[in-house]
Amino acid sequence: MPVGERVIHMVTGEYKTTTKDGKEIEAYRWDPGTVFVNKGENVKLKILGVNGEHHPFVIEGMNIQGVVKKGEETTVSFHASKEGIYRIICFTHPDSVNNGPMIGYIVVD
């Protein structure tokens, strides 16, 4: 592992329940939902697909795209060069209509 590289593990998760009227609802999430890194760090995100068949995603403002598949680990690396809050958004579950929002946050301080 290169000096100064930080490895952060995430998973895809699902919450499921039944409402009083018998309707089943579910929502997909990144876990952890918020990741904090320091400006200047080299970061490797290792995302394990646990729930859901596939989660194509983008990290806004970092020019990073990928797909997390069930039972597989997807790895993306970046240099945290600029402070800010960057959203990791799943294209399959972007909002409540599509069992989301499956949106996580990378906070660079």
Q: What is residue 4's predicted lDDT score, i.e. its pLDDT?
A: 75
Question: Both tokens of residue 2?
Answer: 């290169």
Q: What is residue 3's predicted lDDT score, i.e. its pLDDT?
A: 57
How far lies 7's CA from each of 44, 82, 93, 98, 99, in Å? Answer: 5, 18, 25, 30, 28
pLDDT by 10s per residue, the chain, length 109? 445 799 999 999 999 999 999 999 999 999 999 999 999 999 999 999 999 999 999 999 999 999 999 999 999 999 999 999 999 999 999 999 999 999 999 999 9
CB-count burial class (<10 Å; 0-12, 13-18, 19+) for 71: exposed
Amino acid 71 reads: G
Q: What is residue 60's predicted lDDT score, i.e. its pLDDT?
A: 97
In angstroms, the CA 49 to CA 55 distance is 8
Whether residue 36 contacts residue 80, with contact meaning beta carbons closer than 8 Å, is answered with: no
